[in-house]
Chains A and B, each alone.
Chain A
Amino acid sequence: MENNNGNNQLPPKGNEQLKSFWSKEMEGNLDFKNHDLPITRIKKIMKYDPDVTMIASEAPILLSKACEMFIMDLTMRSWLHAQESKRVTLQKSNVDAAVAQTVIFDFLLDDDIEVKRESVAAAADPVAMPPIDDGELPPGMVIGTPVCCSLGIHQPQPQMQAWPGAWTSVSGEEEEARGKKGGDDGN
Chain B
Amino acid sequence: MERGAPFSHYQLPKSISELNLDQHSNNPTPMTSSVVVAGAGDKNNGIVVQQQPPCVAREQDQYMPIANVIRIMRKTLPSHAKISDDAKETIQECVSEYISFVTGEANERCQREQRKTITAEDILWAMSKLGFDNYVDPLTVFINRYREIETDRGSALRGEPPSLRQTYGGNGIGFHGPSHGLPPPGPYGYGMLDQSMVMGGGRYYQNGSSGQDESSVGGGSSSSINGMPAFDHYGQYK
Q: Which residues of B contact A119 (CB under 8 A)?
A: 86
Known: A15-B134, A62-B139. A79 touches B76 (CB 8 A): yes
Q: Which residues of A contact B77 (CB under 8 A)?
A: 75-76, 79, 90
Of A41, A69, A104, A105, the contact of B61 (CB 8 Å cutoff): A41
> Which of B7, B83, B149 has the largest number of chain A CB atoms within 10 A?
B83
**What is the size, in residues, of chain A's interface with B at 8 Å between Cβ atoms?**
95
Of B39, B119, B145, the contact of A177 (CB 8 Å cutoff): B119
Interface bits A124-139 vs B (CB < 8 Å: 1, else 0) = 0110100000000000
Q: Does B120 contact A (CB under 8 A)?
A: yes
CB interface residues, B 139-164, toward A, < 8 Å: 139-147, 149, 151
Bound Cα distance from A60 to B61, whole angstroms = 15
Known: A45-B100, A166-B136. A61 touches B87 (CB 8 A): no
Q: Is the CB of A50 within 8 A of B117?
A: no
Binds A, one of B122-130, B166-174, B213-221, B225-233: B122-130
Q: Which residues of A contact B193 (CB under 8 A)?
A: none
Q: Is the CB of A92 within 8 A of B6?
A: no
Q: Does B94 contact A (CB under 8 A)?
A: yes
Q: Which residues of A contact B38 (CB under 8 A)?
A: 87, 89, 91
Q: Which residues of A contact B89 (CB under 8 A)?
A: 92
Q: Is the CB of A75 within 8 A of B73?
A: yes
Known: A88-B80, A170-B121. A52 touches B107 (CB 8 A): yes
Q: Is the CB of A70 within 8 A of B98?
A: yes
Known: A78-B87, A176-B147. A169 touches B120 (CB 8 A): no
Q: Which residues of B contact A15 (CB under 8 A)?
A: 134
Interface bits B70-113 vs A (CB < 8 Å: 1, else 0) = 01110111101111101101110111111111111011000100
**What is the size, in residues, of chain B's interface with A at 8 Å between Cβ atoms?**
90
Known: A74-B94, A104-B131. A41 touches B84 (CB 8 A): no
Chief secondary structure at chain A's binding surface: helix
Q: Is the CB of B39 within 8 A of A128?
A: yes
Interface bits B15-43 vs A (CB < 8 Å: 1, else 0) = 00000100110100000000100111110
Of A71, A122, A174, the contact of B69 (CB 8 Å cutoff): A71
> Which of A25, A90, A96 has the largest number of chain B CB atoms within 10 A?
A90
Using CB atoms, name the residue of chain B closest to A116: B90
Of all A-B residue pairs in the complex, the 9 with the closest CB atoms, nearest first, are A48-B6, A92-B86, A104-B131, A58-B120, A159-B133, A54-B117, A89-B82, A75-B76, A72-B76
A positions within 8 Å CB-CB of B: 1-2, 15, 18-19, 21-23, 25-26, 30, 32, 34, 36-38, 40-42, 44-56, 58-59, 61-63, 65-72, 74-76, 78-79, 82, 87-92, 94-96, 99, 103-105, 107-108, 110-112, 115, 118-119, 122, 125-126, 128, 157, 159-160, 162-163, 166-167, 169-171, 173-174, 176-178, 180-181, 183-184
| Sample (25) of A-B pairs whose CB atoms are under 8 Å apart | A37-B64, A40-B23, A41-B20, A44-B61, A45-B62, A48-B6, A48-B100, A50-B9, A51-B104, A52-B118, A54-B117, A61-B120, A62-B124, A71-B69, A75-B72, A76-B76, A79-B81, A88-B80, A99-B94, A104-B131, A115-B52, A122-B40, A122-B42, A169-B140, A183-B204
